[in-house]
Amino acid sequence: QKEVEQNSGPLSVPEGAIASLNCTYSDRGSQSFFWYRQYSGKSPELIMSIYSNGDKEDGRFTAQLNKASQYVSLLIRDSQPSDSATYLCAVPPRGGYNKLIFGAGTRLAVHP
Amino acid sequence: DTAVSQTPKYLVTQMGNDKSIKCEQNLGHDTMYWYKQDSKKFLKIMFSYNNKELIINETVPNRFSPKSPDKAHLNLHINSLELGDSAVYFCASSQLAKTGANGYTFGSGTRLTVV
C-alpha cells in the first residue's frame, strides 16, 4: 500500500459544481494533513491544512478529515475553470514533522 | 520579495556534466528541502536541512550533494549527470514545529534536462 494514495483522475466537473477530491494515508500516527494545488508548469501552492477530525472551511474550499478511516478530502464549491489544476495531498509520517509525503495528485478539469 | 527563489529556472546539459542549483528563502524558516518531481508528476523528498544540518537523506545517489551555508540557503550539486536525472527539482522551506508539520513554501522549480 502506498503511503498516500489519490485517484489520478482526471476528475471533470462542470462550472459551478462541487468537486470532491479524496486521499487516503497509511500511517495511523499522522497528525497533519495538507492540500496543495499545482498548475501546469508551476510549483505546488498550499491551499488547506487540517489537523483535527471534522471539517475546516476556507472560502470555497472545505477540508474533511476522518482519522479513524485514514481519509482526508477536499471539496471545492462553485468550481471555476481557474480551479483546473492538479491537487496534491501531503501527509507527514508519525514523528516525521520534517518530511511531507505527497500523493501522486488528482488532476481536476472544470469545464464551462 | 520572492519567498523561496531558485536559480536557474531551466537547465539543459549533457550527460556526464556537473551542475548546481541554488535556493534561497527570506521567510526566516529553519528547515529547507529538495524535492524531485518526475515526468509522472510524483513529488519525492530528496534532502532536508534544519538550521544547516542534514536531517533527511532519502536513498539519493551520492552524485547528489546538498550544501547549506546558512539556514536561508540550500544548494544542490549534481555530479556526472545521467539521463534519468531529468526532472523538475523544487526547493521548499518550512518552520519545523514539535506539535506537527507545517506546510511548505515551494520555490518555482528548476527544470533539468539531461541530453
User: What are A4-44's pLDDT values in tens digits?
Assistant: 999 888 999 999 999 999 999 998 888 889 999 999 999 99
Distance (Å, whole) CA B22 – CA B115: 21
Chain B residues touching residue A44 (CB < 8 angstroms): 43, 90, 104, 106
Q: For residue B3, give how far its alpha carbon lies from the nearest alpha carbon of chain A (Å).
A: 12
Beta-carbon separation of B43 and A34 below 8 A: no
C-alpha pair distances (Å), B22 with each of B48, B68, B88, B98: 15, 10, 14, 28
pLDDT digits (tens, 9 = 90+) for B52-87: 889 888 878 999 999 999 999 999 999 999 999 999
Chain A residues touching residue B90 (CB < 8 angstroms): 43-44
Asked if B100 has any chain A CB less than 8 Å from its own CB, the reply is yes
More confident call, B39 vs B63: B63
Quickly state the pLDDT bin for B4 (edges 50, 70, 90).
very high
pLDDT at residue A97 greater than cutoff 80: no
Distance (Å, whole) CA B29 – CA A8: 32
Q: What pLDDT score was predicted for residue B73?
A: 96
Say which residue the cell 464549491 belongs to: A77
pLDDT at residue B100 greater than cutoff 80: no
Q: What pLDDT score was predicted for residue A96?
A: 65
Beta-carbon separation of A100 and B90 below 8 A: no
Say which residue the cell 555530479 belongs to: B79
Among candidates A31, A46, A104 on the partner chain, residue whose Cβ is nearest the Cβ of B103:
A46
Q: Which of A34, A2, A32 is nearest to A21 (CA)?
A: A34
Asked if B10 has any chain A CB less than 8 Å from its own CB, the reply is no
Chain B residues touching residue A43 (CB < 8 angstroms): 90, 106-109
Q: Scanning every residue of chain B, which has its alpha carbon at the shortest distance from the alpha carbon of A92? A: B101
Quickly state the pLDDT bin for A1 (edges 50, 70, 90).
low
Residue A14 CB neighbour total at 10 angstroms: 10
Do the beta carbons of residue B23 and residue B106 sit within 8 Å? no
Rounded mean pLDDT, B15-20? 98
Q: What pLDDT score was predicted for residue A2?
A: 75
List the A19-25 sheet strands across, edge first. Answer: A4-6, A19-25, A71-76, A61-66, A54-58
Q: What pLDDT score was predicted for residue A9?
A: 84
Chain A residues touching residue B108 (CB < 8 angstroms): 42-43
